[in-house]
Amino acid sequence: MKRPHFFAFLSLACLTLATLSSGLFASEARMTPLVKAVQKAQKAVVNIHTEKTAKDQDNIFGSGKARRVTGMGTGVVIDERGYIVTNFHVVSEVEVLEISLADGAHYAARVVAFDKNKDLAVLKVDRDQPFEVMTMGTSSDLMLGETVFAVGNAFGYVHTVTSGIVSYLSRDVEVNETQSYQDLIQTDASINPGNSGGPLLNLDGEVIGINVAIRAGAQRIGFAIPIDDARNVLADLLNTQTISGTYHGLATEDKKNGTDRHLVVRKPDPGSPSEEAGFQAGDVILSVKDHTITDRVDFERWMLDVPKGQKMTVEVERGGETKTLELALRQSDKATVIMAQNSHTVNKIATPVNFDSNSPEQKVWDKLGMKLVKVPKDQIHPVHSKYNGGMVVTEVRQGSPAAKHGIRNGDILVGLHQWETVKSEDVAFVIENADLEKFNPLRFYILRGREVLYGYLQLK
């Protein structure tokens, strides 16, 4: 007999409007540290609304019974260009993904990267004006009994604020047979369904954790991923080679001890752009393009969207002196298909190729903005036995429909609309179909790790 599990994820299908008081006319006595911290942080918290189709798992491309399922969660803005962190379980396999801000504005979002095991995901929202960014704290100096607070979509009541203390540090939690966490922050600030992916903050208005789980049936027992641990994962998810297909070749390490936070170079890869720029082991990276750098996330996010070959000014501290280096990214020459299989990883290398002008491959590149290479059935079967093969993405054209909807190098395209895509001709058949306008936007299915992700390509 399986033993019961008493922990639960926090996302919930519910939507209710709520607002926070601005405190413009409050007396100084009422403007407590908590009130000031809430006002500082609330604009960088987002509410997440999702929809997906629950259906027969053995009939991905068929017309089996299906029902729409809605869900809710919370996110934290980590970059002014619209990059947002949340929990992976909030956005797993969703088809509709929207966020709303404290001012009530709504935007479509897309998943650009995730780590299922660590239960973290990065979303992207596109808009003209910059976003408010959450002030990052550190979990390296948290104190037992320290006052903390949470802001989130509790039971669908958007931007709900709850406060409490740090109840325990480094708590291991098992949610179910497939998901467990290590070294979580335990808090008695009320964490409720819908708070998933939202911030746990200190009285300086700095995020010190990402809320992730509750003890079902208990009173005021909630858990958050320490922000330092989360930032280590986010640095890998925002790696410019993964997101933009460009390469710097610099290995770095975060050093955090309270207010002492800096990024140290471990080594530049031989022959890499970082070695050519003159980086040395032990360098402390101070800034990139005049943006202050405190950790790997800062470094990676300011590399995003930088064209290959364009020189960036990087300031480092070396031997007590400040030196200025010029770093120019290069195009990554290979796309790696990484398919997690139980306790080990299967790596397959697919080299980007050029195509004849009238080939099916060129038509796919022109229409969707992807270069695709066939993945044999026997390479996919160890991970997902239901698929008869697929097409690995080896290159994504900037500004293309594929790029705008979060498809990236290493993804495996396994379906478009109602058809499987096991060869280039299958993809070309869909995009040249006489009825294409009837099913535009074009639904796509990609395999990323062990997960099948869904989305829609808006074609001209």
| Residues annotated as part of the active site | 89, 119, 196
Q: How far apart are CA 256 and CA 282, in angstroms?
A: 15
Q: DSSP label at 43?
A: G
For residue 441, whether the previous peptide bond is cis, meaning omega lies within 30 degrees of 0, is yes
- In degrees and rounded to multiples of 5, residue 41 shows phi and psi of -95, -25
Long-range contacts of 358-363 (CB under 8 A, 24+ apart): 359/424, 360/424, 360/425, 360/427, 360/428, 361/424, 363/428, 363/431, 363/432
Token pair 């540290």 is found at 33
Q: How far apart are CA 322 and CA 314, in angstroms?
A: 10
Helix/strand/coil percent split, the chain, to 5? 15, 40, 40
Whether residue 64 contacts residue 23, with contact meaning beta carbons closer than 8 Å, is answered with no
Q: Find the helix or strand (DSSP H, E) in which 378 lies.
A: helix 377-380
Distances (CA, A) of 142 to 133, 264, 326: 22, 23, 37
Q: How far apart are CA 244 and CA 251, in angstroms?
A: 18
The full length of the chain comes to: 460
Q: Find the helix or strand (DSSP H, E) in which 33 lies.
A: helix 33-41
